[in-house]
């Protein structure tokens, strides 16, 4: 189990050489007058040399105290920059193999000022006093994730359609991306929900348009990805509804013709959301009362995979699938939520997920390139970044969802870095475009 490396220290030493000044003694002269004369001159010369040496010493010390620290700092920066440039590109490395490191950066946005953040996710706005959870950034072991450049991203998304599909975790990531991008928009009135809807968990579709850049970022609520059906005829009384594992969600036709398509599912695939609610599995007309949740999850993913290969234009749409991100409840009843001040040193097994393993196995056999956002391990350390008691209703604790700003911002930075390193325009040029704009 890897441990969190909280502090990085660079020890550098500097040295310099001092040159000694040597004064040669004058040769003895047999002429007494000349001896007196030259002795006097020699004495004066020695005194002047001593005074000059003392002054030079103090000047040298002052210069050392002033110049050397600046020089050392400059060399330090050169070494850090060199190490970053020597690292591999995002394209070539496993960006999910890394650690959280402390940074001095400020959050990318203010959640209270962003109209698209649900109040329940605005932890600072809901009274959280410590800001330590905002001071961490994910650092892959063998590469650097490019710093988020809002103007460059806005330009690259011009005239595009970005679609998120999934549960409330996906909606949080959707809200995060919108607020990240709004920070670079001068006229905030030009960013609006297309149907003038308020952000709420009950609406199946939400779309925010950036009119100045002619693109939309959309969210479709599909917690299982497959269709939910009514109770079949002649089913036992305990069956109230079913999941049609061989049929994708009935709103899936609205996900096509997108440029960036991001999926996630997992948190609703639990007994409390299924069997306890009278929801069982169905394939075709056959009711599968004895089917386990992992087996049903795999069938649903295979149905999703077939739909993607059949309906999605791989020459246009870039597809991402985010794996299961762990919660940090203190007990199995999900009633005790202890939010820590800092990331944990150990994952306590939360870096493993059967859902994530199934996603990786299904995607491995894809004929269409899929980017898997394997966030399970990196999110397992972040017990400090959950909503906790800082919700819209303080009496309801939350160790599943994340504060905004927070961890979902890093997921979006990873998506953008992977997306742009695979595009025809290098990320450095994107940054230049943003600065030029």
Q: What is the pLDDT of residues 181-225, one digit of tens each?
A: 999 999 999 999 999 998 888 899 999 999 999 999 999 999 999
Q: Which residues pair with 219 in a beta bridge?
A: 164, 206
Q: Which residues of 75-92 are buried (b: 16+ CB within 10 A; e: fewer)?
A: eeeeeeeeeeeeeeebee
Residue 289: how many other CB atoms lie within 10 Å: 12
The predicted structure's pLDDT at residue 200 = 85
**Nearest-angstrom CA–CA distance, 329 and 247:** 33
Q: Is the pLDDT of residue 384 over 50?
A: yes
Residues in the chain: 437
**pTM for the complete prediction?**
0.77
Render pLDDT for 61-77 as a digit per residue (tens, 0 to 9): 344 333 333 333 232 23
Better pLDDT: 87 or 189: 189
Render pLDDT for 246-273 as a digit per residue (tens, 0 to 9): 999 999 999 999 999 999 999 999 999 9
Task: Give percent of the chain with pLDDT exceeding 70.
Answer: 75
Residue 230: how many other CB atoms lie within 10 Å: 10
**Nearest-angstrom CA–CA distance, 377 and 350:** 7
- pLDDT, mean of residues 162-170: 97
Q: Is the pLDDT of residue 429 over 90?
A: no
Residue with tokens 């030493």: 13
Of the ranges 95-109, 373-387, 411-425, which is most confident?
Answer: 373-387
Q: For residue 98, which phi and psi values (nearest 5 degrees)?
A: -170, -150
Render pLDDT for 284-336 as a digit per residue (tens, 0 to 9): 999 999 999 999 999 999 999 999 999 999 999 999 999 999 999 987 777 78
């Amino acid at each position: 189990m890897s441990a969190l490396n909280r502090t990085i220290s660079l020890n550098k030493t500097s040295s310099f050489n001092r040159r000694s000044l040597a004064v040669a003694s004058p040769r003895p002269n047999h002429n007494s007058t000349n001896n007196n004369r030259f002795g006097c001159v020699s004495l004066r010369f020695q005194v002047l040399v001593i005074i000059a040496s003392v002054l030079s010493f103090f000047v040298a010390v002052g210069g050392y105290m002033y110049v050397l620290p600046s020089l050392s700092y400059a060399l330090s920066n050169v070494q850090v920059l060199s190490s970053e440039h020597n690292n591999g590109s995002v394209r070539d490395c496993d960006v999910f193999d890394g650690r959280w490191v402390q940074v001095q950066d400020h959050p990318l946005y203010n959640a209270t000022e962003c109209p698209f953040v649900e109040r329940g996710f605005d932890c600072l706005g809901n009274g959280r006093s410590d800001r330590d959870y905002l001071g961490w950034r994910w650092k892959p072991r063998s590469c650097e994730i490019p710093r988020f450049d809002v103007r460059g991203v806005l330009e690259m998304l011009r005239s595009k359609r970005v679609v998120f599909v999934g549960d409330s975790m996906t909606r949080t990531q959707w809200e995060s991306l919108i607020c990240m991008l709004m920070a670079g928009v001068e006229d905030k009135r030009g960013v609006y929900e297309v149907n003038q809807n308020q952000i709420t968990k009950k609406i199946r579709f939400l779309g925010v348009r950036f009119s100045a850049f002619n693109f939309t970022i959309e969210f479709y609520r599909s917690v299982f990805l497959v269709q939910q059906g009514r109770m079949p005829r002649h089913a036992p009384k305990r069956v109230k509804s079913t999941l049609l594992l061989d049929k994708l969600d009935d709103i899936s036709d609205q996900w096509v013709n997108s440029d960036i398509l991001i999926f996630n599912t997992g948190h609703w695939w639990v007994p409390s959301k299924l069997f306890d609610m009278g929801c069982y599995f169905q394939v075709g007309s056959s009711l599968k009362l004895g089917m386990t949740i992992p087996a049903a999850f795999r069938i649903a993913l295979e149905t999703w995979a077939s739909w993607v290969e059949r309906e999605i234009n791989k020459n246009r749409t870039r597809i991402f699938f985010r794996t299961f991100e762990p919660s940090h409840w203190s007990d199995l009843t999900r009633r005790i939520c202890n939010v820590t001040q800092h990331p944990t040193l150990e994952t306590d097994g939360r870096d493993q997920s059967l859902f994530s393993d199934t996603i990786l196995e299904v995607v491995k056999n894809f004929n269409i390139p899929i980017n898997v956002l394997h966030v399970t391990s990196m999110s397992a350390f972040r017990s400090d970044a959950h909503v906790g008691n800082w919700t819209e209703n303080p009496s309801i604790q939350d160790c599943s969802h994340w504060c905004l700003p927070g961890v979902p911002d890093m997921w979006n930075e990873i998506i953008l870095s992977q997306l742009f390193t695979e595009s025809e325009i290098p990320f450095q040029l994107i940054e230049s475009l943003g600065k030029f704009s």
